[in-house]
Each structure stands twice: as structure tokens, then as C-alpha cells.
Amino acid sequence: MKKAASVLRYVILTLGALIMILPFFWMLSTSLKTQPETVQIPPVWIPKQLQWGNYVEAFKAAPFARYFVNSVIVTTVTTVGQLFTSILAAFAFSKLHFWGRNLVFMIFLGTMMIPGEMLIIPNFVTLSNMHLVNTYGALILPWLASFFTVFTLRQTFNSVPDQTYYAAKIDGASDWRFLWHILVPMSKSTITAVTVLQVIGSWNAFMWPLIVTNDENMRTLPVGLQAFTTDAGTNYALLMAASTFVIIPMVIVYIFLQKYIIAGISNSGLKG
Amino acid sequence: MQVTFKDVTLSYDGKRDILKHLNFVIQEGSLVCLLGPSGGGKSTTLMLISGLLAPTHGQIYFGDTDVTKEDALGRKVGMVFQNYALYPHLTVQKNIEFPLKMAGLSRADRAKKAHELAALVHVDDQLDKKPGELSGGQQQRVAIARALAKEPSILLLDEPLSNLDARLRIEMREEIRRIQRETGVTTVFVTHDQDEAMHISDQIMVLHDGHIQQFSTPKTLYASPDNLFVAQFIGEPVINSVPASALSHDLAGVVSDDILSRAQTAGIRPEALTLPQRALDPLTTLHGKVIEFDQFGRESTAKLDYNDLQLISTEMGQLPHNTQELDFTLEKKGFFLFDADGKRIFGGDDHAE
Amino acid sequence: MLNEKPTVKSTIKGWLYLLPMLVITITFNIYPIIKSFLMSFYTKYDFYNDIVSAYGFSNFTYLWNDPDFHLAVRNTLVFVIGVVPLNIIISLAIALLLNKIKFLAGAFRTIYFLPFVTSTVAIAQVWNWIYHSDYGLLNYLLGLVGVNPINWLNDPKWAMPALIIMSIWKGLGFNIVLFLVGLNNINTRYYQAAEIDGANAWRQFTNVTLPLLSPITFLVTVNGVIGSFKVFDEIFALFQGSSGPSKSALTIVYYLYEKFYTEWKYGIAAASGVVLFFLILFVTLIQLWYSRKHVHY
């Protein structure tokens, strides 16, 4: 009875896992097919000859190299900048005493309710007035601070006992040194989690980059890929090859830093 | 460094006073315990000495210097916390070196000093480990070494042994005593455990309700408690305290009428009740019943009924099994009378020191 | 010092630490929030010079009378109702199964979570291909069990289900992770107690697991509802830059995007954003109210 239940569990989970993995498999499989193979019925599961050339062709068919560089720049600067502003703010909210602290904190907590999509229009207007549309500035600036990140880091900083803060003060550490020498290293796992989630978010972001970039040279990978669909038309092999190299970097990040992603989601989810 | 408090008052919100008009002097080179129940103000007093808290009124002197406005760094104190507050991401050596690094010492000097201190507190074989890999006792040793690294004017320990198990606590308190003797650093130690305080201190300051109840040597504290609170707080088993009126008949003629009329509570240490043949300096003889008698090895405890009051004695020796009623002696040493305010008006020795 | 009242000095220091974040959030969060509420009342607006010449409620009356907006609200609600409950049931079931096994549990979790880290746009291209009416994998597989080919992406009747299926597939992993955390936090002693009391597996599930999991379920629901209300990327990518056949997948955010980006009607777009905000607020408050009664903390 117990054994049967266990077997049943594995059967269901395996079926589910197959459904989850199938689109990825189909993407890879299609990306390595010849064009006739893609439209063959019954479908070809594994192409006779792997058409690695599709990747080269897709990569050349649109300025994917440029998109890739853009995505790397935007993701890196956004993540580093956001982390920096958030660490400073979270420290102030967690360990410093000053006038207006709680009020500011409550106001920001309140703004977390507002759907970000509402802000797109005024932000677009602001950035056009600053003549930043179609620049890295427009892609990066609005994301250099995130109250969600501040909130998550503050929770972690709060869990560091105040005694540690006093001990560091007695040891002669200034607030600045305490923050960077003690608090940040002590909160390494949360900071890693927040960083990884931010990298994934920035890399995959679509709506905002779509709106602030008309210039082909400023497109990020997802926007570039979306534009490419029109060019690719019915050449699904090329389209799947292009999709693959948009997806692959984050899959690699995920496989190596899975532990932190899961922990990050668990923490922020439970505390939020 | 000698520490002097002059009329120090602290209130958190400006309304409730946590500490009220504290005056005391801690002698240079001594080990002083701040003892009392939680909420009594002992940790707050420690924080005031450290400079992590500032008094609402009054002055604090280190030696002859007024340090009231100085912060912890300016006062050059070393502090050990109950939870050790070690930096978990740094090795033991880096932990000990941290204050020296902040002070700008060279790498070589820091390492040299860290090795010396690690040897002093016996963690020199753990230098490359992280605090998480150490036992509680070892972590506390590291915390002490870190606090000593900057050659503090004064070493402050805030309930340093509370997170340790019973055996380790005894071992560590001896260690703290040894380290204090070896370094000669003025040390202030906060604890709520009277046994701990009695064993390691040169002097004990009993704090309760924001006031100093008594500040004296452990011996004096036990033999001559200034008031009922101290008498009840110090000593194990706890002192017998009964209404003085119950004893007035037996004390008539032994204690002056004037004192007897003011006495509200009588305090009798369990060892002050003994059999007549074992008595050393008897005050008077009482008559009562034995309710219960327990013996474990050398220790014996008798529960006595005296005028319907229960008294505990540890000095009855071997009582015959069928003893029901008996006469027993009230010794002079260990017997106190307190007035309505709890002040001691009889017993003890005011010149014990 | 600890009891130090905030002083001018400590206040300056505190605000200096906040400053970088404040500059960004005030410019790109706080100010836009106010601005977008204001914009929803702009009735005559010169975007190039940022000059407003008239205010009024006409943007909202426009929305009130616009059948497209009605459609957008209806589609959004259908999407929310289609995605959230199914997602929760499936992810809870998978989390329960995962929680019972040891061997390969990590590998399964990795697979189920994978869609979460992938670009919506990229994976939507894959789904677009899977949904292809002639050569798509899905119709082929359905054909094996005798289902006639469905024109998933071009038949208004099937566009929304196609969108919902993809969205559930993509969102499962996130909820599974949260449910697994919740299940881990349930003390096994409760189950032991229930077993001693003679509760069978189903009883244990309804009497122990579900009530003790209710805070997580609530969190997952609120997260899911808010996220689903804002769906956009999936639609844009799956329907190749359109709102589906006959606008069958037109949602509120998509409507906002069209009004703003293709029609340049900023006031109306802003007003639809405001409506979205109040809808989300309203639904969240209802959920909060419900949770007061039924969530056991």
C-alpha cells in the first residue's frame, strides 16, 4: 500500500516534470532542425543531423550581439546600483536613529501597493523631457532603487543583533565601516539572493525597455527577440535558436545559484 | 581605571526613572559584580559605564576625567556581550584583530597581539576557525580576547555566562577571574546569579528598583545585609523570613525592647538554626516540631514548624527518625531583624570589613 | 549612544544614507504616482511641451463608455479567475507530493521552477510554436487522443485558454517553492498528534495541513491575483504584438499600453491605470477581509 502510493507519487511528478520540460526540449529540438523537419508530421523529436548552423544564422540575422551587450550593461548597472542604494537605505532604516525615519518608511511601504504599470506613463514623460529616451539612462535610471529590495535587506539587517553593532562601535568601527565590514558580509546570503533575483528580473524585463527604445541599437535581448519574430516569419528553427540564447544565460545563473534564488523567494515571500 | 558615578540618573522617556541618583566608586584593578534581578538596572548601569548609554543627569568619571559626554570608543572600554557578538564571517584571529585594525595597527602588530591574547584566553589553537565552529565557552573566550585587544581602560561583561551550561559556567567564571588577575584590568561583571557573583567578585553591587541596595564585599553582603531585599537575594537556600512578632516572646530580654518594637521582619539564615549541642554563639532557644527531614550525603535539610511558621535549617546534623518536637538554638550569626522599611536594625556586623 | 535622541547630526547622517535611494524613488516612484493620478484628469494635454490646458473627468467617462475597456476588464477578470485557482491547486498538489519524497526531490523542484527564471518573451515564442495550428506540437499530441486540431492563437474562443495554460505553466514553480516552505514549517508533532487521535491521511490534510498552510495560501493567492491583474508580456509575446484575435486577450495593462504607446492618449491611459489600481486595491481588501476569518496564523 505504502509502496504503491510512493510509486504513484513518482509517476505523477515525472509526468508533471515532463510537461514542464517539454517546451524547453521542443525549443532546443526545433532550433537544431532543418526547415523541412520543423513542419514534418508526425514531428521529429530529435533531428537527424543537428543544425548548429541555425544558431550562427539566427545570430547574424539580427544584431543580437548588440542586444546581448545592451542586456549585460543594463542588467549589471541596474543590479549594482540598486544594491548600493538599497544597502545604504536599509542600514539607515535598520540601525540609525533620525527624525522622519518611520514616516519615510511608512510612506514607502504604502507605495509598494501601487502597480508599477501605472508609473510607466509619467516616467516616460519625465525621461523624454530629460532627452533620455533611447539611451541607457532610460533603461537604467528608474530601476536604480527598489523599495522591495530595501525592505528585504532591512529585514535581514534587523536580524543582526544590536549587540554586534555596539561591539563594532566599541571596537572603533564607524557606521560606514560597520556597514561594509560587518553587516554586509554577515548578510551575504540574502544579498546574493536579492542580487540573483534582480539579475533575472532585469535580464527578462520587457515592457519598459519596449517602451523606451525605438532605436534598434538600444534594444535589450527580449525586445530584440520580439522584433526578430517579425523578420523570422515562419522560420521556426531560427526563432527557436534565438529564443534559446535569450534563455540560456539565466538558466546557467539559475543552475549555479539555485540555492540562493529559492531562499530569496522563500524569505521575501514569507516576510512580505 | 577607577570609575566614579556622581548622582547618575537615567530615564528612558523622561518619565520613568530606570536608575535613581546612583553614587559609587569602583576601585582600580578590582572585579566588581553588578547583581540583581532582571529589570533592576544592572545592565543599564553597565551600559552607562560603557558609554553606549548616556545618563539623563549626573557625571561619570574615569579616574579624574569626566567622561559623561564621551562615547564608548572615547572611553576605551572593552565589552563582552551575553550572545558574544562575535563577527560570524571572520576567523577567530580576525575577530580579535578587529579593534586593532580599526585603530590602524599594522598587520604584523595585529597578528602578534592576537596571538598573545589567544594564548591568554587559551584559544590559540582555534585561530583559523570561524566562531560558528566553536563551543559556547570558546566563543566567550574569543569575545574576552577581542575586548582585551585594545587594552581597555575597563572590561565590561554583560551576563557573559548566561548562555553556557552549568558546568561550563563554573569553569568560565574561574577563567574570567584568572584572566582578570593576570591582566589586572578593572572589570565590571553583570549577572543575576548570586552564586556566580559571590565566587568571583572583589565587591558586589546589588541593584534593585533603580537603587543600589548594597555595595560591599561578598562576605559582608552575606553576613551583614543592609536590608531585607539583599538578605533574601543572597544565600542558598533562601533566608527564612518570618514576621518579627512571632519571635517577640522568645526574643524578649535578648533583644532590646526598642528594637523589638520597631522590628517588622526577622531573617534567619538556614545555618543559624541548630541543635543546642552544636551551637556556637546562641542567642536564644526555640521550641518547635520537625515536619520533614532530608539528607543527601553531607547535606541535610530540616523543615521545622515554629509557631505555625515554616523554617528551614541546614544545621540539624543527624536527627533521630522519630523526632517530633524539639528545642533548637537560634544562633547570633545569621539572625537579623528588619524594620518596616526593610532596613536592618539588628544582627550582622557593621564593622566586618 | 543608544538613548540618544535624534539630533541634527544624526538626522543629517540618516538622510545622507537614504539620499541615493530617495533621489531615485522620488523621481521615478513617488512623483509618478502623484503625476499619474493627476494625468488621469488631464483632458487636454500637450505632451511635447508638458502643458495641460484642461482638467476633468472625461477620461473616466470615456473608459465607462468604451466597449474596448469593458472587454479589457472582463478579459482581465477571466484571466485572473482562470489562472489563480488552478495554479494554486496544481502547485499545492505538486508541493505535497514533493514534500513526501526524498529521492530526486531536488531535481524535480529544479525542473518545476525552471520556467520562472526564463524570459517570458522567449518562452512565449516557444509556446507560440507549440500552439501552431498546423505544425504545433500540442495539436499533434491532442490528435493522438482523437482531438481535432484547435486554432489556438487565431480563434477568439481559444486565445484566452492558450494564454492561461502558458501562464499557469510559467507560474507554477514560484508557488511550489512557497508551499514547500510552508509545509516544511508545519511541525511534525501536529501530524503525530492527529495520528494518535485517529485521523486518516485525508483528515490530516484537511485538519492539519490546510489550516496551518493557510497563511501561505493567502500569500500565494494575493501575489497571484495582483500579478495576474497586471499581465502584459505574455500577451504581447504570444500574440506577436497584438491583443489576440478580435482583441480576445486584451487586458487592462494591454489597453493602457495601446492607449499610451500607439494612440498617444495619455490621459485615458493614465485613467485606466488608476482604475487598475483601485481594482487591485478592492480585490486585495476583499481577500484581507476574507483572510481575517479563515486564515489561521
Q: Beta-strand (E) ranges in chain B?
A: 3-11, 17-26, 31-35, 57-62, 65-66, 77-80, 154-158, 187-191, 203-208, 211-216, 240-243, 263-268, 273-274, 282-296, 299-306, 309-313, 325-331, 335-339, 344-346
Grid coordinates standing for A144? Answer: 536604480
User: Distance, in angstroms, between B76 CA and closest chain A CA?
Assistant: 8
Map out the domains of chain A as residue ranges: 61-271
Q: Are A143 and A82 in contact (CB under 8 A)?
A: yes
Q: Which residues contact B69 (CB under 8 A, 6 or more apart)?
A: B54
**What DSSP element (H or E) covers A185?**
helix A184-186
- pLDDT at A254 exceeding the cut of 60: yes
**CB contact (8 A) between residue A265 and residue C177:** yes
Architecture of the structural domain at B240-346: Beta Barrel (2.40)
**ipTM for this model:** 0.90
Q: What is the pLDDT of residue C89?
A: 95
Task: Determine the average pLDDT of the residues in A42-55.
Answer: 88
Q: Which residues contact C265 (CB under 8 A, 6 or more apart)?
A: C259
Least confident of A140-144, A259-263, C148-152: A259-263
**CB contact (8 A) between residue B72 and residue A170:** yes
Spans of chain C, pLDDT less than 50:
none
Residues of C in contact with B12 (CB under 8 A): 3
Residues of C in contact with B54 (CB under 8 A): 1, 3-4
User: Distance, in angstroms, between B154 CA and closest chain A CA?
Assistant: 12
Residues of A in contact with B52 (CB under 8 A): 166, 169-170
Q: Does C147 touch chain A (CB under 8 A)?
A: no
Burial of B17: CB neighbours in 10 Å, binned 0-12, 13-18, 19+: middle
Q: How confident is the model at residue B321 (pLDDT cuts 50, 70, 90)?
A: low
Residues of A in contact with C29 (CB under 8 A): 111, 114, 119, 145, 147
Residues of B in contact with A168 (CB under 8 A): 87, 98
Q: What is the pLDDT of residue C4?
A: 59
- pLDDT at B55 exceeding the cut of 70: yes
CATH of domain C60-294: 1.10.3720.10
User: Distance, in angstroms, between B150 CA and closest chain A CA?
Assistant: 8
Cis peptide before C215 (omega within 30 of 0): no
Q: Does C17 touch chain A (CB under 8 A)?
A: yes
**CB contact (8 A) between residue C3 and residue B54:** yes
Q: Are C33 and A118 in contact (CB under 8 A)?
A: yes
Surface of C (184-213) touching A: CB under 8 A? none
What is the per-residue pLDDT across B121-170, written as a single tens digit (0 to 9) for each?
999 999 999 999 999 899 999 999 999 998 999 999 999 988 888 888 89
Q: What is the value of pTM for the model shown?
A: 0.87
Every domain range in chain C assigned CATH 1.10.3720.10: 60-294
Nearest to C178 by CA among A260, A12, A262: A262
Q: How confident is the model at residue A271 (pLDDT cuts 50, 70, 90)?
A: very low
Map out the domains of chain B as residue ranges: 3-233, 240-346
Q: Which among A13, A98, A246 has the least Cβ separation from residue C108?
A: A13
- pLDDT at A251 exceeding the cut of 90: yes
Q: Are C135 and A234 in contact (CB under 8 A)?
A: no
Q: Which residues contact B336 (CB under 8 A, 6 or more apart)?
A: B225, B231, B266, B267, B268, B344, B346, B347, B348
Best to test chain A binding among C49, C91, C121 (most A CBs inside 10 Å): C121
Q: How confident is the model at residue B307 (pLDDT cuts 50, 70, 90)?
A: confident
Q: What is the pLDDT of residue C5?
A: 67
Residues of A in contact with C97 (CB under 8 A): 9, 12-13
Surface of B (49-78) touching C: CB under 8 A? 51-54, 71
**Structure-model confidence comparison of residues A112 and C259, the more confident one:** C259
Q: b or e along A52-65 (b: 16 or more beta carbons within 10 Å of the residue's beta carbon)? A: eebbeebbebbbbe
- pLDDT at B63 exceeding the cut of 50: yes
Q: How confident is the model at residue B277 (pLDDT cuts 50, 70, 90)?
A: confident
Best to test chain A binding among B52, B83, B102 (most A CBs inside 10 Å): B102
**CB contact (8 A) between residue A167 and residue B103:** no
Q: How confident is the model at residue A230 (pLDDT cuts 50, 70, 90)?
A: confident
CATH topology of domain B3-233: Rossmann fold (3.40.50)
Q: Which among A171, A173, A186 has the least Cβ separation from residue B88?
A: A186
**Structure-model confidence comparison of residues B252 and A154, the more confident one:** A154
Q: What is the pLDDT of residue B117?
A: 94
Furthest-apart CA atoms within chain B: distance in Å: 77
Q: Are B156 and B128 in contact (CB under 8 A)?
A: no
Measure the CA–CA gap between C273 and C230, rounded to whole angstroms: 10
**CB contact (8 A) between residue A166 and residue B71:** no
Q: How confident is the model at residue A272 (pLDDT cuts 50, 70, 90)?
A: very low
**CB contact (8 A) between residue A173 and residue B50:** no
**Structure-model confidence comparison of residues C168 and A2, the more confident one:** C168
Q: Are B2 and B25 in contact (CB under 8 A)?
A: yes
Residues of B in contact with A172 (CB under 8 A): 73, 99, 102-103, 150
- pLDDT at A24 exceeding the cut of 80: yes
**CB contact (8 A) between residue C1 and residue B12:** no
Question: Three-class SS of residue B80?
Answer: strand
Q: Which among C123, C135, C173 has the least Cβ separation from residue A247?
A: C123
**CB contact (8 A) between residue B52 and residue C4:** no
Residues of C in contact with A101 (CB under 8 A): 6, 14
User: Distance, in angstroms, between A127 CA and closest chain C CA?
Assistant: 10
Instruction: Dihedral sign for Cα A124, A130, A133, A139, please.
Output: negative
Residues of B in contact with A166 (CB under 8 A): 50, 52, 72, 79, 81, 85
User: Distance, in angstroms, between A201 CA and closest chain B CA?
Assistant: 29
**Beta carbon pairs, A and B, within 8 Å:** 55
Q: How confident is the model at residue B13 (pLDDT cuts 50, 70, 90)?
A: low
Measure the CA–CA gap between C160 and B89, rounded to whole angstroms: 52
- pLDDT at B318 exceeding the cut of 80: no
Task: Determine the average pLDDT of the residues in B294-321.
Answer: 83
Measure the CA–CA gap between B220 and B235, rounded to whole angstroms: 12
- pLDDT at B352 exceeding the cut of 60: no
Q: What is the pLDDT of residue A232?
A: 76
Instruction: Dihedral sign for Cα B212, B215, B219, B225, please.
Output: negative
Residues of C in contact with A122 (CB under 8 A): 31-32, 35-36, 39, 270
Question: Three-class SS of residue B105?
Answer: coil
CATH of domain A61-271: 1.10.3720.10
Q: Which among A85, A93, A98 has the least Cβ separation from residue C24?
A: A85
